[in-house]
């Protein structure tokens, strides 16, 4: 059997796509390896979201070519969003053997039959219907507890800064019954958590001859599989997150109380230029609706600093919104101009790089302070965590997430001496994949330290 090695960049959807690719390639006679040097086929599943994401991958392609110098029969494949966006450059200038876009992974076996050194193969056709619904991904997570399931592909929003609609094509939802079947299957194999993935999960809609399932309906169905199967999801769009979804979350114990709700900017003027289709007030109202229904719900976000024409006043509005909401955590980025997007074609990328970074650093400093506040507010509380395994920093500690997505660390055993008096009664309930109750004693801005 031949061996395939894949490096994955970008979002969680790409992680899941890599699992789909492993599955397709297994049928074509390729076994997965984690050692690049022993692979016959070396691939990168790529991301185009910001320029620095692409720069990293050009560097990796150089490394792949070094490998090919030593072993000329090794094939180099670039798949994913960058393959879609930069097909010609990849083939002509960078001489890769395979270029395959996000909707064309089923062609891989055919392309691999045809490819040989000097005769590259390409398929970057986008599809209106491909969801890989029938393919069982080869799980690549390390703990066997938490699995990602894609529920839709593509995106129909045209946020003016974003390359995703061009690299991933039109939005389409996956057959609900195949999603439920996949979730049942991973549960049967011992998984305790599924994360439903889409660029905009709130617009999930599946229609068959007999039924229509929206995102709230899908959440209920997946949560109904088993009371000890946790359900998470990402990403929610502020313009679309519905009261129905919030109500289903609030009333269902095993749907985790965490919403990733990217705000991008606190300035309504910026939001209009970004074509986000909501304004500051709307966003704040959605946050209030979430907190009214679920006072303990974790809320995280994405923020972009220095978008086209952003003034100091706009920037101040972002800071004040972050102050007001108090996000648990945020992904924060300097705006990166992407070729072909609406902003690239019609607006000036006019905030100088140093100024973007200065604003970004202010945003990061504020968020660090807010994260610490949010984590501190948990001290003294008792939380239910799903045990994932030993903590990375200290193997004597275990780690696991609370429903609100905060990472908790806690001792793996009772304190020294206690177990000699009597057997540790909770030991079994602290195995990976089980639920346990912890009390929060202390924290950093990213971890709750518990007993």
The correct pick among 199, 214, 301, 405 for binding ligand SF4 (CB under 6 A) is 199
CB of 85 to ligand F3S, least distance (A): 8
Return the H-helix or E-strand segment holding 433: none
Coil, helix or strand at residue 114: helix
- Cα 194–142–260 angle (5° rounding)? 40
Q: Is 162 in the site for ligand SF4 (CB under 6 A)?
A: yes
Coil, helix or strand at residue 369: helix
Nearer to ligand SF4, 84 or 193 (CB): 84
The correct pick among 16, 18, 48, 214 for binding ligand F3S (CB under 6 A) is 48
Nearer to ligand F3S, 86 or 450 (CB): 86
Distance between first and last Cα of the chain: 48
Stretch that binds ligand F3S, among 159-167, 214-222, 279-287, 393-401 (CB under 6 A): 159-167
Q: What DSSP letter does each residue of 188-221 carry, written as one string?
A: HTT--EEEEE-TTGGG-EEE-SS-EEEHHHHHHH
Find, among 269, 331, 340, 322, the residue nearest to 304 by Cα. 331
Give the torsion sign (CA, 242, 243, 244, 246). positive
Q: Is 155 in the site for ligand SF4 (CB under 6 A)?
A: yes
Q: Is 258 in the site for ligand SAH (CB under 6 A)?
A: no
Beta bridge pairs of residue 80: 46
The correct pick among 235, 300, 391, 405 for binding ligand SAH (CB under 6 A) is 235
Q: Is 371 in the site for ligand F3S (CB under 6 A)?
A: no
Q: Phi first, then psi: what are they for 202, rounded to 5°?
A: -65, -20
Nearer to ligand SAH, 264 or 404 (CB): 264
Q: Return the residues of window 357-396 that contact ligand SAH according to CB under 6 A.
A: none
Q: Is 11 in the site for ligand F3S (CB under 6 A)?
A: yes
Nearer to ligand SF4, 13 or 218 (CB): 13
Q: Is 173 in the site for ligand SF4 (CB under 6 A)?
A: no
Nearer to ligand F3S, 80 or 433 (CB): 80
The correct pick among 22, 64, 329, 333 for binding ligand SAH (CB under 6 A) is 333
Place of tokens 């995280």: 300
CA atoms within 13 A on the CB side of 416: 1
Q: Is 400 in the site for ligand SF4 (CB under 6 A)?
A: no
CB of 85 to ligand SF4, least distance (A): 14
The one of ligand F3S, ligand SAH, ligand SF4, none whose footprint includes residue 338, by CB under 5 to 8 A per kind, is ligand SAH
The correct pick among 85, 174, 192, 237 for binding ligand SF4 (CB under 6 A) is 237
CB of 117 to ligand SF4, least distance (A): 36
The correct pick among 14, 146, 178, 203 for binding ligand F3S (CB under 6 A) is 14
Stretch that binds ligand SF4, among 11-19, 62-70, 105-113, 153-161 (CB under 6 A): 153-161
Q: What DSSP letter does each residue of 337-366 carry, written as one string?
A: --TTSHHHHHS---S-HHHHHHHHHHHHHH
CB of 164 to ligand F3S, least distance (A): 5
The correct pick among 23, 33, 143, 157 for binding ligand SF4 (CB under 6 A) is 157
CB of 233 to ligand SF4, least distance (A): 14
Q: How far is CA 18 from the centre of its chain?
A: 13
Q: Which two tokens stand for residue 193?
A: 């958590």
Q: Is 234 in the site for ligand SF4 (CB under 6 A)?
A: no
Find, among 186, 105, 191, 199, the residue nearest to 151 by Cα. 199
Give the torsion sign (CA, 214, 219, 222, 226). negative
CB 295 within 8 A of CB 302: no
Coil, helix or strand at residue 315: helix
Q: Which residues bind ligand SAH (CB under 6 A)?
A: 49-50, 161-162, 164, 199-200, 235, 237, 262, 264, 302, 304, 333, 335-336, 338
């Amino acid at each position: 059997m031949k061996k395939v090695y894949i490096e994955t960049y970008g979002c969680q959807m790409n992680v899941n796509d890599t699992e789909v690719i492993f599955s397709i390639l297994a049928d074509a006679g390729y076994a997965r390896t984690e050692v690049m040097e022993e692979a016959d086929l070396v691939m990168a599943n790529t991301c185009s979201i910001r320029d620095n994401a692409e720069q990293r991958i050009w560097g990796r392609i150089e490394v792949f070519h070094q490998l090919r110098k030593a072993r000329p029969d090794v094939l180099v494949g670039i798949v994913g969003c960058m393959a879609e966006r930069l097909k010609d450059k990849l083939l002509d200038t960078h001489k890769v053997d395979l270029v395959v876009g996000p909707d064309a992974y089923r062609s891989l076996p055919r392309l691999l039959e045809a490819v040989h050194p000097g005769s590259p193969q390409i398929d970057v056709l986008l599809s209106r219907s491909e969801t890989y619904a029938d393919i069982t991904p080869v799980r690549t997570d390390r703990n066997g507890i938490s699995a990602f399931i894609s529920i839709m592909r593509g995106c129909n929003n045209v946020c003016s800064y974003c390359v995703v609609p061009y690299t991933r094509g039109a939005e389409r939802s996956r057959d609900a019954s195949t999603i439920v079947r996949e979730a049942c299957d991973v549960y049967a194999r011992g998984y305790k958590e599924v994360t439903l993935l889409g660029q905009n999960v709130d617009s999930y809609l599946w229609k068959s001859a007999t039924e229509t399932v929206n995102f709230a309906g899908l959440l209920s169905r997946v949560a109904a599989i088993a009371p000890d199967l946790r359900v998470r999801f990402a990403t929610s769009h502020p313009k679309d997150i519905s009261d129905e979804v919030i109500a289903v979350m609030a009333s269902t114990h095993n749907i985790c109380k965490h919403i990733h709700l990217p705000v991008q900017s606190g300035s309504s003027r910026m939001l209009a230029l970004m074509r986000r289709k909501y304004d500051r007030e709307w966003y704040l109202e959605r946050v209030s609706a979430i907190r009214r229904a679920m006072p303990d719900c974790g809320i995280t976000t994405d923020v972009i600093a220095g978008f086209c024409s952003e003034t100091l006043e706009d920037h101040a509005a972002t800071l004040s919104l972050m102050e007001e909401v108090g996000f648990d955590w945020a992904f924060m980025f300097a705006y990166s101009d992407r070729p072909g997007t609406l902003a690239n074609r019609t607006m000036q990328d006019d905030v100088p790089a140093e100024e973007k970074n200065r604003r970004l650093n202010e945003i990061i400093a504020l968020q660090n302070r807010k994260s610490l506040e949010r984590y501190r507010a948990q001290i003294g509380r008792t939380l239910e965590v799903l045990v994932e395994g030993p903590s990375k920093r200290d193997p004597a500690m275990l780690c696991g997430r609370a429903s609100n997505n905060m990472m908790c660390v806690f001792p793996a055993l009772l304190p020294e001496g206690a177990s000699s008096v009597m057997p540790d009664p909770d030991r079994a309930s602290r195995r990976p994949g089980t639920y346990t109750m912890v009390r929060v004693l202390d924290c950093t801005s990213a971890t709750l330290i518990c007993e």
